[in-house]
Structure 1
Amino acid sequence: MFSSKSFDRNYETDTKEVVIRGKRFNVLVPESLDGFVDPEDIFHDFPLWSKLWEASIVLADYLARITPDPQKRFLEIGSGLGLVGVVAASFGHQVTMTEYNPDALNFARANAHNNGLDERGDLEIKALDWNRPRLEGSFTYIVGSEILYSEKDYEPLLDLFKTYLRPGGEIILAERARKTSIGFFREVSEIFEIEARKKVLRSREKEIFVILARMKFQ
């Protein structure tokens, strides 16, 4: 059971507002990374989960447009702060959000609570190690954003897809266009039918290119 008092005691946070399809979501993010990085080696286990990624907003917006079906369940991997799963559940989808990092799980639960979506029948939040998955059941959709950061994750991700995707199911990934994400899509192109589109997010300071890919086993 999530305790907001316990969460508030353990974490200093800021709040960012995200609007998806006319709905407003308040997302708690760490105020500082100081408690999550090793000062002797800041790149070791860097907390990628702690950022509200542009690709997560792209994926959340896409899932919000899918017509809900109680027979079709979503598995989100690498949920991070929880935006994607929270948005999907708020638009009527059956969602299991997963993360490996304990702090990320706490933030995902806090953001579900903060947006009126405490764990219930249509939303579960669970720990998941891609190398030793311990989930039950199968899923119509497996979704994730900014999960393709390391080539060492390619094989466990493929095994996870094979284990948990229902026959005829679909994988939906949103990834910033980078060497590791493009490399993954190239590597699995003989296994999956891939439909990909590029989203360009512009601000005054920069342009960000996000790949939104839908994948089905051939």
Structure 2
Amino acid sequence: MVFFANLGVNLHVCLCGDLQVASAGSPNGPGMHPRAIHYLDNIKICSRINRMDLEAFQRSHSTRTEEVLIRNRRYRLLLPKTLDSFIDPDEPMQNFPLWAKIWEASLVLADALAGISPDPSRHILEIGCGAGLVGIVAASFGHRVTMTEYNPDALAFAEANAAFNLADPGAKLKIQRLDWHRPDLEGPFDLIVGSEVVYSEKDYEPLERLFKTCLSPWGEVILAEGMRRTSMAFFQRLSESWTIEARRMTLRAQEKSVTIILARMHSKVHGL
């Protein structure tokens, strides 16, 4: 059984109890209430090596920046200015760069992790990290995170964004490539998290195996997903062997509303 709680929040400045999320900066994306917009004129990169690496990255990539506010902390994410160089013109939908956008589900998950008290003994695994927002936010709030992606371009942007936003990225954050079909990780992990990772039915079994292989016996999985047929079917499938508590969150703006499911899951059979 999957239990849902209804919750309404605003898309630009999201308020849900302690939830405070804002996003701006994309020329094609939604705007923010004027009181929520506070652009940073200068971002200080605290490490000289990080600064040099970041400058080299920006010279080799055409980027734009998008600003995100999570619980009164600001983050600036480097994202591709265009998607042309990441799309195969012969097969445009093959490996489409879904990672090149900050999804609403990532905002919800980042805020959820920011609201969890850090524990030095807890190790978090993020799957499908994209450009890196969730793991960067979690690390900045004191969590120890291994942030993973399969796409090499997404990994490059995640590494650049870690250098862009964290004074010492290596202190709390590890970034590495991960193939869900053949996971090669130093686990187990106390918490596995992901946002918008359930897009295809072919991913159901690899994700289930990954959870069983990489999660500690008493660990937890937290997923933030759009309300799609595939994500709902995945939660229903897992409900046979997992206890799932989910909150249905509607993020509203003048232009649109987006419904996100934030699900917290525990295995019914410990040790799997």
TM-score range for the pair, normalised by the shorter chain length: over 0.9
Distance 1:204 1:137 in 2: 44
Deviation at 1:73, TM superposition (A): 0.8
1:114-153 paired onto structure 2 within 5 Å? 114-153=164-203
Deviation at 1:118, TM superposition (A): 4.5
Query: Who is 2:23 aligned against?
Result: none
Give the alignment partner of residue 159 of structure 2, picking from 109, 114, 119.
109
Matched position secondary structure for 1:107: helix
CA contact (8 A) 1:13 1:29 kept: yes
Deviation at 1:71, TM superposition (A): 0.3
The one-character-per-residue Cα deviations of 1:84-122 (angstroms, maximum 9, x if unpaired) are 000000000000000001100011011111102553131
Q: Supply the AA of the counterpart residue of 1:51.
A: K
Deviating 4+ runs (over 3 angstroms) = none
Change (3 A) 1:44 1:118: farther
Percent of pairs with identical residues: 58
Distance in structure 2 (CA, Å) of the matches to 1:202 and 1:117: 34
| CA RMSD between the two structures | 1.1
- Counterpart of 1:82 in structure 2 is 132
Does the aligned pair in 2 maintain the 1:89–1:123 contact within 8 Å?
A: yes
Any residues of structure 2 matched to 1:168-207 within 5 Å, and which? 168-207=218-257
- Check the 8 A contact 2:187/2:215 in 1, yes or no: no
Q: Displacement, 1:42?
A: 1.2
Q: Which residue pairs with 1:34 in the alignment?
A: 84
Residue in structure 1 matched with residue 93 of structure 2 by the alignment: 43
Unmatched segments (≥5 aa) in structure 2: 1-48
Q: Is this contact kept in 2: 1:109–1:118, CA < 8 A?
A: no
The C-alpha deviation readout for 1:185-206, integer Å capped at 9, x for no partner, is 0111101000001111111111
Query: 2:204 & 2:56 partners in 1: Cα distance?
Result: 36
Cα deviation, residue 138, structure 1: 1.0
C-alpha contact 2:136 2:166 (8 A) present in aligned 1: no
Q: Could you tell me how far 1:6 is from its partner in structure 2?
A: 2.8
| Cα distance in structure 1, aligned partners of 2:253 and 2:168 | 33
CA-CA distance at 1:10 after TM superposition: 2.2
Please report how far the alpha carbon of residue 41 of structure 1 lies from its aligned counterpart in structure 2 after TM superposition: 2.0
| Greater radius of gyration (CA) | 2
- Matches of 1:145 and 1:116, distance apart in 2: 21
110, 126, 134: which one pairs with 1:60? 110
SS in 2 for 1:111: helix
Give 1:165's match in structure 2, choosing from 191, 212, 215. Answer: 215
Cα deviation code 1:40-90 (max 9, x no counterpart): 221111111111100000000000000000000100000001000000000
Per mean C-alpha deviation after superposition, the further-off stretch among 15-24 and 110-119 is 110-119
| Higher RCO (CA < 8 A, seq sep 6+) | 2
Match of residue 23 from structure 1? 73
Letter in 1 for 2:219: G
Q: In 1, Cα distance between the equivalents of 2:137 and 2:166?
A: 11
Native 8 Å contact 2:132 2:157 kept in 1:
yes
Amino acid paired to 1:209: T
TM-score, normalised to structure 1, is 0.97
